[in-house]
DNA sequence: ATTTTATATTTGTATATACAAATGATAATT
DNA sequence: AATTATCATTTGTATATACAAATATAAAAT
């Protein structure tokens, strides 16, 4: 559906505004769809993001600032996100012995197990949308978004 | 910047995942940039969205459910958004005489004045990003996002 | 050695969002 | 006419987010 129909726009809008609304609305659609997948596991999208970052570390601990700079939403409060994951035993947290300002966060086996169970569902989610596009269009969309962002 | 660089990804990712992350990250960049514009006016992006919907009504009142269905984020709590706008005298709210379940929300002159003052800044914001693309690319990006969303 | 600056993280607080339940009004059914 | 169903909105509550201030440690400067 075109963005004007989605938002039942009464006034015509130019293509620059349409991109903004299309990106915002598409993000909403993606996020809501993904939340449904995560619901049975009782973790939020942001918490999932942290777990993925930790798994990507391949056994090495990540500090809070490393997690932060790899998050999609850079402004979210990493401390409290890790708090939530800690309560569910999905991560461990300890003070870094070399630099006691830093915190070392590691994903637990339980965390890895949940990610493993989620993996096929996450791939299905990604393809649920991208299957509407040809492989050329997929590449093109990524390029256009990256070009669009570059101020 | 490519999305892998932005998120300092250690593991390679396929293009379907890249689209998800590109959309989510681009939304964040747009929203943060726009919040800066709105900051001096002390309204949030969602509140601005409501004001735009009300102006689009061209003098006709909008009910809560009309506002809701035209919002970009359909899940936000319209009642409380309108509460905030009411406190700042940017809208009026009264019970619809024909159907007392409904609420009629109208933008005030003060609301219209703020929108008018914001208009050029909003257009500049839209073009700040889209200026990176040719007019063909702008059309293409809109088409791809719309096609991508269509399940 | 002490002070200053920079870094890493946490905490406080106000606001926003998500979702279910409650309220009140109208329409449909018996 | 009374009951039930539907609709429109609000409210309660728990959680999330945004942003500034506080804390604690380390490094640099005096």
Q: What is the pLDDT along chain B (151 residues), one digit of tens a residue?
A: 899 998 888 788 999 999 999 999 999 999 989 998 998 898 999 999 999 999 999 889 999 999 998 998 877 789 999 999 999 999 999 999 999 999 999 999 999 999 999 999 999 999 999 999 999 999 999 999 999 998 6
Residue B134, CB, strand D, below 7 Å = no
Domain encompassing residue A89: 43-133
Confidence band for A102, pLDDT divided at 50, 70 and 90: very high
Helical (H) or strand (E) element with B125 = helix B109-130
On whether both A19 and A68 belong to a single domain, the answer is no
On whether both A31 and A49 belong to a single domain, the answer is no
- Give the whole-number percent of chain A exceeding pLDDT 90: 79
Residue B61's SS3 state is coil
CA distance B87 to chain A (A): 26
On whether both A10 and A74 belong to a single domain, the answer is no
B149 contact residues in A (CB cutoff 8 A): 1, 25-26, 29, 129, 132
**How far apart are the C-alpha atoms of B137 and A141, rounded to whole Å?**
10
A151 within domain boundaries: no
B97 within domain boundaries: yes
- Do β-strands A103-107 and B91-95 pair in parallel, antiparallel, or remain unpaired? unpaired
Nucleotides of D under 7 A from a protein CB: 7-12, 15-19, 24-27
pLDDT tens column, A2-37: 999 988 887 889 999 999 999 999 999 999 899 989
B:20-39 Cβ neighbours of strand D under 7 Å: 35
pTM of the model: 0.93
On whether both A125 and A52 belong to a single domain, the answer is yes
On whether both B84 and B117 belong to a single domain, the answer is yes
> How far, in Å, are A71, B48, B70 from residue B36 at the CA level?
21, 13, 23
CA distance A149 to chain B (A): 6
Confidence band for A73, pLDDT divided at 50, 70 and 90: confident
Q: Which of these, B30, B21, B38, lies nearest to A18 by C-alpha position?
A: B30
Q: What are the start-end ranges of the E strands in chain B?
A: 91-95, 103-107
The whole-number Å distance from B44's CA to C9's C1' is 28
Q: List all residues 6 or more positions away from B127 whose beta carbon is below 8 Å from its beta carbon.
A: A16
B:60-89 Cβ neighbours of strand C under 7 Å: 73, 75-77, 80-81, 84
Residue B90 sits in a domain of what CATH number?
A: 1.10.10.10
A16 within domain boundaries: yes
On whether both A54 and A27 belong to a single domain, the answer is no
B52 within domain boundaries: yes
- For residue A24, give the nearest of B25, B72, B137 by CB distance: B72
- For residue A144, give the nearest of B9, B27, B137 by CB distance: B137
**How far apart are the C-alpha atoms of B99 and B113, rounded to whole Å?**
30
B146 contact residues in A (CB cutoff 8 A): 1-3, 22
A103 within domain boundaries: yes
- Indicate the number of domains in chain A: 2
- pLDDT for res B151: 65
Nucleotides of C under 7 A from a protein CB: 7-12, 15-19, 24-27
B104 within domain boundaries: yes
């Amino acid at each position: 559906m075109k963005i004007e129909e989605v938002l039942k726009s009464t006034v015509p809008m130019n293509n620059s505004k349409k991109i903004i609304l299309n990106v915002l609305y598409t993000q909403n659609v993606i996020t809501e769809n993904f939340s449904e997948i995560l619901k049975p596991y009782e973790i939020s999208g942001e918490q999932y993001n942290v777990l993925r970052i930790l798994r990507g570390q391949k056994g090495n601990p990540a500090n809070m600032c490393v997690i932060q700079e790899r998050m999609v939403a850079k402004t979210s409060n990493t401390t409290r996100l890790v708090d939530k994951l800690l309560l569910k035993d999905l991560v461990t947290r300890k003070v870094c012995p070399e630099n006691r300002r830093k915190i070392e966060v590691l994903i637990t086996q339980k965390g890895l197990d949940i990610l493993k169970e989620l993996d096929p569902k996450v791939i299905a989610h990604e393809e649920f949308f991208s299957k509407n596009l040809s492989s050329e269009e997929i590449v093109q969309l990524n390029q256009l978004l990256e070009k669009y962002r570059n101020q």
